[in-house]
Amino acid sequence: MKSAKEKLVETKILERVSKYPQCKPLIEFLFNDEELHEMQDYSNVVSIKRLGFNDHGPVHMRQVTSNAIKMMEMLHQAGIKTSLEKEETGTFEDSLCAVVLAAMTHDLGMMIGREDHEDLSVVFALQLLDRALTSILKNDIRKKVIIKSLATEAIAGHMAHRKIHSLEAGIILIADGCDMTKGRARIPLAMHNAPRAGDIHIYSANAITRVGINMGENKPIRIDVEMSSEVGFFQIEEVLLPKVNSSTAKEYIEIYAGVTGQESKRYL
């Protein structure tokens, strides 16, 4: 059973991709794949109930998908070519498909645990990537290989532990880092009352009230982070910035963050 939040994010995503004849049916396939949803849901059970972490489930993976699509379109509108376009091995929409596949599967490894979960996510995602790509590309083996490879790089590289090389994988890093509003920390905060090591991640995320992704003034993408208290700066400096600094899309990003009612600080 999908939550109201899942359905809301799905509706926004489908509206955004309605103009893409290849990407739209791919996303519809992913949204309707029962096994994928069960894996996403169980990833969240392990993350929240077993480990005491924040949301790594269906809503998070959909929100990362939404973030990634938005940023990909902003780069496209600014005339920035994707790696597939530069290499003349695919179109913008092919790149978008790879990004969507990665975003929707990047945290499946949380079904096992936090350590090396990006590599475990690849293991769980591979069969699904094949199934999803076959549904839209049929017998186009070359395109399936290229999109699958790109998606795999993005999944494996989303924690900034592995050097990535494509622009598409770089977008996943940042899209993932941008999902840090207080909604992700709501359930763990309600469930775990005793202080534990690592709580700063949950409390700092709970201070983030809004993350805006808009066209930038000096660069194609501007990320605005608004918070209720200064503890939220921990999320910027320890979660978002390391991902942006490791991203191949860093040169296209500007970041502003601040406490509500105060002047924002520019990071990039």
pLDDT, tens only, 118-154 = 999 999 999 999 999 999 998 899 999 999 999 999 9
8 Å CB contact between 125 and 105: yes
The whole-number pLDDT of residue 196 equals 52
8 Å CB contact between 257 and 211: no
Fold annotation for 4-266? Catalytic domain of cyclic nucleotide phosphodiesterase 4b2b (1.10.1300)
8 Å CB contact between 244 and 225: no
DSSP 77: H
pLDDT, tens only, 242-259 = 999 999 999 999 999 999
Q: Which is more confident, 183 or 248? A: 248
pLDDT (mean) for 8-12 = 97
Q: What are the beta bridge partners of residue 215? A: 221
The whole-number pLDDT of residue 54 equals 80
Q: Does residue 9 carry a pLDDT above 60?
A: yes
The whole-number pLDDT of residue 243 equals 96
What's this model's pTM, rounded to 2 decimal places? 0.93
pLDDT (mean) for 199-222 = 88
The whole-number pLDDT of residue 186 equals 47
Q: How many CB atoms lie within 10 A of CB 80?
A: 17
Q: pLDDT class for 189, splitting at 50, 70, 90?
A: very low
**Percent with pLDDT over 70 in the chain:** 93
Q: pLDDT class for 222, splitting at 50, 70, 90?
A: very high
- The ranges assigned to domains in the chain are 4-266
The whole-number pLDDT of residue 200 equals 67
The whole-number pLDDT of residue 3 equals 93
Q: Does residue 193 carry a pLDDT above 80?
A: no
8 Å CB contact between 103 and 40: no
The whole-number pLDDT of residue 245 equals 97
Average pLDDT, the chain: 93
Q: Does residue 194 carry a pLDDT above 70?
A: no
The whole-number pLDDT of residue 1 equals 83
